[in-house]
Amino acid sequence: MGFIILDTLYIILPKKYPVKNITKHLLLAGFSFFALASCSDKGTETKQPPKVAEQQVSKPVVKAPDFNADSAYSYIDQQVAFGPRVPNTKEHEACGDYLIATLKRLGAEVTVQEFEATAFDGTKLQLRNIVGSFRPDLKKRVLLAAHWDTRPFSDQEKDPEADLKKPIDGANDGASGVGILMEVGRSIQSDLKNLNVGVDLMFFDGEDYGEPEFYEGVSQVRDSYCLGSQYWANNRHVAGYHAYYGILLDMAGGKGAHFYQEGVSLQFAPTIVKKVWDQGHALGYGEFFVRQPTYPITDDHVYVNRSGIPMIDIIDHDPASDSFFGHYWHTHKDNMEVIDKKTLKAVGQTLLGVLYSE
């Protein structure tokens, strides 16, 4: 994911600002929005008497399949083993083929959307959005998404000697979301009869090819991140496709992750935020699902929301920390060592709880 944006106007901030400065600059500008957002979800903290519905927390759903964090971890490990999944490389192509084959093996109906996109520096990127559908017969659908490409740069390295142009493993920034969703797919395939919604797993490409700060040329595109979701927003993989709502995972598998309630999610899909965070708390994962609103973040869900499907983002970030995102973000530390099965379990089990509550 890339820059932070300001609510409905989508003001793209000056790109030379590091994220931690952006957050400070946004603090006042975004205040009224966050105050509103927090009121809608935190009834007990407003002066109004809390409504009963807001106090209720969903009960744990016993009929949901058990999410296997070891298997999710293995799906992440296998992606990382290909090497960095940078568009236009053989590693990227091989990993895409692996994802398609794995979805098919799990029994999903697979649709591959191939397209060309222009990067910030004018490079033509050959990209693939990969969709695996479960219960394609059902009209009511939930869209679960993550990005499968990885960043071509390690431009957040703090060491002044570091080569910022070396690609990263992207174990958490990319692979973790895909791994969790692959395991969600495997779980629901094992218990399709109790599932009352169709589920589409969307693996977006080209999310992390955004313009780095070291680039000195003139950008060739307006929004250089999220190329796959931007394409899909204008070109559905199936004509007329619609989902009831969507959930995006990004950096969803790191040790000690904190999922604050991100600003774009609260703006477009506050009831889905509540549904998911309530489910997480009901299942005992409250330490991960922090009920506190934070800043809007540019990520694939922005373009999905703009195209008419309300989608939230479960993304590890901490507004109180210096780096805003984890210490590993867009550095070589984003490798398998940051992945924690406890986090994978919390996110995966919560998703299954949400799906099987529908």
CA-angle at 112, arms to 10 and 343, nearest 5°: 65
**Distance in Å, CB of 208 to Zn ion, minimum:** 4
Smaller CB separation from Zn ion, 173 or 200:
173
Smaller CB separation from Zn ion, 278 or 300:
300
Closest CA to 288 of 298, 276, 299: 276
Smaller CB separation from Zn ion, 329 or 356:
329
Smaller CB separation from Zn ion, 197 or 252:
252
**Distance in Å, CB of 207 to Zn ion, minimum:** 7
**What type of residue sits at position 76?**
I
Residue count, binding to Zn ion (CB under 5 A): 2
Tell how strand 11-12 and strand 124-134 pair up. unpaired
Candidates 82-90, 107-115, 185-193, 204-212 — which segment interacts with Zn ion by CB under 5 A?
A: 204-212
d(CA 223, CA 178): 23
Candidates 44-52, 66-74, 186-194, 203-211 — which segment interacts with Zn ion by CB under 5 A?
A: 203-211
Smaller CB separation from Zn ion, 132 or 212:
212
Candidates 115-123, 160-168, 206-214, 226-234 — which segment interacts with Zn ion by CB under 5 A?
A: 206-214
Smaller CB separation from Zn ion, 134 or 295:
295
**Distance in Å, CB of 2 to Zn ion, minimum:** 7
Q: Taking CB under 5 A as the criterion, which residues in 152-181 touch Zn ion? A: 173
E-only strand ranges, the chain: 5-6, 11-12, 109-118, 124-134, 141-147, 198-204, 245-250, 259-261, 289-293, 311-315
**Distance in Å, CB of 46 to Zn ion, minimum:** 35
Closest CA to 334 of 155, 187, 182, 214: 155
CB 198 within 8 A of CB 136: yes
**Distance in Å, CB of 158 to Zn ion, minimum:** 16
The strand pairing partners of 132, in sequence order, are: 110, 201
d(CA 91, CA 89): 5
Smaller CB separation from Zn ion, 189 or 343:
343
Smaller CB separation from Zn ion, 7 or 208:
208
Q: Per rule CB under 5 A, is residue 313 in the interface with Zn ion? A: no
Window 209-248: contact mask with Zn ion (x via CB under 5 A): ----------------------------------------
CB 213 within 8 A of CB 15: yes
**Distance in Å, CB of 22 to Zn ion, minimum:** 15
Smaller CB separation from Zn ion, 183 or 208:
208
Q: Per rule CB under 5 A, is residue 299 in the interface with Zn ion? A: no
Closest CA to 270 of 307, 317, 226, 305: 305
**Distance in Å, CB of 96 to Zn ion, minimum:** 18
**Distance in Å, CB of 44 to Zn ion, minimum:** 35
d(CA 352, CA 198): 13
Q: How many CB atoms lie within 10 A of CB 118?
A: 13
Question: Tokens in use for 289?
Answer: 């699902």
The strand pairing partners of 6, in sequence order, are: 11
Name 50's Cβ contacts closer than 8 Å, sequence gap at least 6: 43, 44
Q: Per rule CB under 5 A, is residue 208 in the interface with Zn ion? A: yes
**Distance in Å, CB of 357 to Zn ion, minimum:** 30
- Which residues of the chain form contacts with Zn ion (CB under 5 A)? 173, 208
